[in-house]
Structure 1
């Protein structure tokens, strides 16, 4: 007799609804789909698909890195911000 372990995860509700619709279309429920995924992880010894950042994520990361290298002055008061805004 198989024993079961309850797994709980917090996911975006819209994402979950979209996935549930796809599972339903192919004749699965969410529990079965998760079991299929876990079995594939065990069979392949890892995540059964490639994980990499999207071009948009890479562009955002690159932009943040570039911006962080720009010289900057820390504003410690409202006056500092006003002075900065009024600079020519």
Structure 2
């Protein structure tokens, strides 16, 4: 007999509603969709799709890296 483990996650409500609508359109409920995802993780030995940063995240990271390379001097007094 199978045993089940309850999994709870906090998800943005708007995102959840959008996803539920798509699941419904393809004949799934959220529980089934999550089970499909978990089975694919096990079958592939990892996340079954590529995870990449967005162009905005990349630009932000590159900006921070560039700024950190600018030479600077620590101020030791208020005047500095």
So what's the TM-score if we normalise by structure 2?
A: 0.82
Larger RCO of the pair (alpha carbons < 8 Å, separation 6+): 2
Write 1 or 2 for the structure with the bigger share of helix. 1
CA-CA distance at 1:72 after TM superposition? 7.0
Give the superposed CA RMSD. 2.0
- Secondary structure at the aligned position of 1:52 is classed as coil
Does residue 28 in structure 1 map to residue 28 in structure 2? Answer: yes
Unaligned runs of 5+ in 2: none
So what's the TM-score if we normalise by structure 1?
A: 0.75
4+ runs deviating over 4 angstroms: none
> Aligned partners of 1:23 and 1:55: how far apart in 2?
28
Count the aligned residue pairs: 77
